[in-house]
Amino acid sequence: MIAIYPGSFDPITLGHLDIIERGCRLFELVIVAVVRNPNKTPLFTANERINQIRASTGHLSNLEVDSFEGLTVHYAKMRQALVLLRGLRVLSDFEMELQMALTNKTLSDEIETVFLATSKEYSFLSSSVVKEIARFGGSVDHLVPKHVALDISRCYARTHPGSIPTAQNSTLRMNHSRVDQEG
């Protein structure tokens, strides 16, 4: 059975990866589908997000990464998927996700939505939280794959030079601060 895991993944987080890996244990094929929404201005292009996801999921043999624009149920039908995979973090997610699942059911009776509760260590985590922390100079190395943290750092360095530390850069800055204070 094929499952579609749709989302913006801007950027992909360790919470997303948790859902992807668990979904791959449940389904024959999981297609991570990056939604291209022309009404939003993402941090990364659809191709950059696809590459980030591929680099993060290379160890999974029953996974495909794609992108689409439009209704998720139309994409699912085109890909012959019978399941939409969704992660739930908190109660407010459930309300929104249930509404979306019921709406999708009115569009396609044969497609089911399967909810996976996010592992507790990721229950607070969202792409928005990652971007907020990064925007204000915090390290996101513990929230996203290392290569994604570097991409985020590079992205914000272009718009806010010197404001984005990664764990490695933070250590370097601390060492430089000690030298400055001692010297």
Active site residues: 16, 40, 89, 127
Q: Which of 49, 38, 32 is nearest to 127 (CA)?
A: 49
> Could you write out the DSSP letters of every residue in 108-140?
-TTPEEEEEEPPGGGTT--HHHHHHHHHTT---
**Sole residue written with tokens 């992660």:** 87
- Cis (ω within 30 of 0) for the bond into 161? no
